[in-house]
A and B are shown apart, each in its own frame.
Chain A
Amino acid sequence: QVQLVESGGGVVQPGRSLRLSCAASGFTFSTYGMHWVRQAPGKGLEWVAVIWSDGNNKFYSDSVKGRFTVSRDNSKNTLDLQMNSLGAEDTAIYYCARETGPYNGFDVWGQGTMVTVSS
């Protein structure tokens, strides 16, 4: 079945880095734009980043621009998020999500992986 599974979350000290991964299965990964969305504890959803299906175009929210890098490997059906210079404000559940179509909503979500930035 169509599935996204995130991994890589954990506890990290402020200023350090962490890399999240998202494994896709059950659909033709290379034909979909993919996003990262996060949710701080007890808070709402926040869009983080998008990477187009071919991996050649990447865009970020202002809050992570310059610190986070999204990438994908269409041969391995994987999506990654490299997070540098982490701060307490980055503490959240990170979800990967599939875009239904260009500029459209997100129809498939992973279960999320928790990132806690704390000393």
Chain B
Amino acid sequence: QSALTQPPSASGSPGQSVTISCTGTSSDVGGYNYVSWYQQYPGKAPKLMICEVTKRPSGVPDRFSGSKSGNTASLTVSGLQAEDEADYYCSSYAGSNNWVFGGGTKLTVL
């Protein structure tokens, strides 16, 4: 149950696009289309932003999109806004009723 690999930090200016990667293995990210992304503000609970690799729950802006290629999933935030500054975590089903999270990426809006 090794954690998924995310870059510790990412940044972009308002209006720009930023992509955060999440690398796993064929036993988790590459093996299932059950990758999720969460946004977390300091002191708050995580919020689901993307599920099943590409699906946006109701209420999540369409500026947020997800994709996957092989063992790497990605979250893209387009048209960056100040309120997008937060920590982002990926998660994947890892088989045998286990789930694994990434280490998290701190997104800074410059």
> Which A positions have Cβ atoms within 8 angstroms of B?
35, 37, 44-47, 50, 57, 59, 61-62, 95, 100, 103-107, 109-112
Contacts and interface: CB of A to CB of B under 8 A. Distances in A.
A47 B91 contact: yes
Contacts of B1: 61-62
A104 B93 contact: yes
B97 A105 contact: no
Interface of B: 1, 3, 32, 34, 36, 38, 40, 45-48, 50-52, 57, 89, 91, 93, 96-104
A35 B99 contact: yes
A59 B51 CA distance: 21
Given A50-B99, A106-B36, A45 B48 contact: no
A34 B94 CA distance: 17
B93 A103 contact: yes
A90 B75 CA distance: 30
B34 A104 contact: yes
Nearest to A46: B101
Nearest to A45: B101
A50 B97 contact: yes
| Top-7 shortest CB links A-B | A105-B36, A59-B97, A105-B51, A109-B45, A47-B99, A44-B104, A103-B93
Contacts of B102: 44
Nearest to B93: A103
Contact of B101 (A47, A104, A109): A47
26 contacts: A44-B3, A44-B102, A44-B103, A45-B40, A47-B91, A50-B97, A59-B96, A59-B97, A61-B98, A62-B1, A100-B57, A103-B32, A103-B93, A104-B52, A104-B93, A105-B34, A105-B50, A105-B52, A106-B36, A106-B38, A107-B57, A109-B45, A109-B46, A110-B45, A111-B45, A112-B45
